[in-house]
Amino acid sequence: MECIVKRRSQFSASHRYWLPELSEAENMQRFGRSANFPGHGHNYVLFISLLGKLDEYGMVQNFSYVKQVITREVINQLDYAYLNEVWPEFQQTLPTTENVARVIWQRLVGYLPLASIQLFEHPKLWAQYQGNGMEAYITIGTHFSAAHRLASPHLSYQENCKIYGKCSRPHGHGHNYHLEVTVRGEIEQRTGMIVDSEALQRVIDNYIVEPLDHTFLNKDIPYFAEIVPTAENIAIYIRNLLHQPIQELGVLLYKVKLNESPNNSCEVYCGEPSSLSAATQRRELVLADL
């Protein structure tokens, strides 16, 4: 039997986005405050996922060995370091979150059966790398608050109550929605980026957060006049809105995850925006913790 196990580590480090072949004005225009001297820092959180068959002791890998390898090959070298100078790989390609994840993979793959490297720069921005050349994933987390009522306009109040329970009450109820948007792209050889994270954040804010925040979805968003604003349908709506503007940034929308509450969440893995009916679209969903 194969299993995936995960090991968490952390380190603190600083870095600077700066290309010596560019002028100061060009660096500031491209990287903004991240180009400021002498740089800035993060408390990085690292998750190493390992894939393998269980051994005779019921383990994929002995975690004592895993910890030793990660500490020796990564943590001892990066903790309290200036990333631009600590490893030669960062002389060629800037130490962005996605590129740091890629290089950590390269440093560990000879010792461990890696499935994925996930590196959190902070709780609302993280990268994932799975060993596919220069391809990587970036996720941005954000939130909005909205009210909704789960009730089909084509059903009676009694019928809606039977299906949706308390969620069909006439005046609705609200949530603090936590949204995670994951994009996929190629790490640019010099900048180390798959996408300008500030540009990606603007797209998410302009297309999703500002229009949805503090609304009553059934009444304020025309899409939900006929479609019941379940978490699943909201995630599909967000996916369809973001697909094109994210593609215009040069990356692909990979996944939308919507946390309706600490207990309920759903994930939509993205292809082309779908014009399918809501019932058909729901079959595309991966539901978690329901």
Which of 73, 135, 161, 167 is catalytic? The answer is 167
**Tokens representing 225?**
């006049």
**Of the listed 260, 266, 267, 270, which one is catalytic?**
260
Residues 122-152 pLDDT 10s: 999 999 999 999 999 999 999 999 999 999 9
State the catalytic residue, choosing from 40, 122, 173, 214: 214
Q: How far apart are CA 103 and CA 98, in angstroms?
A: 9
Q: At what angle do helices 231-247 and 197-204 cross, to 10 degrees?
A: 130
Closest CA to 135 of 198, 195, 73: 195
260 is catalytic: yes
Q: pTM above 0.85?
A: yes
Ordered domains of the chain (ranges, CATH): 1-132 (3.30.479.10), 134-290 (3.30.479.10)
| pLDDT 10s digits, 175-230 | 999 999 999 999 999 999 999 999 999 999 999 999 999 999 999 999 999 999 99
Active site residue 161: no
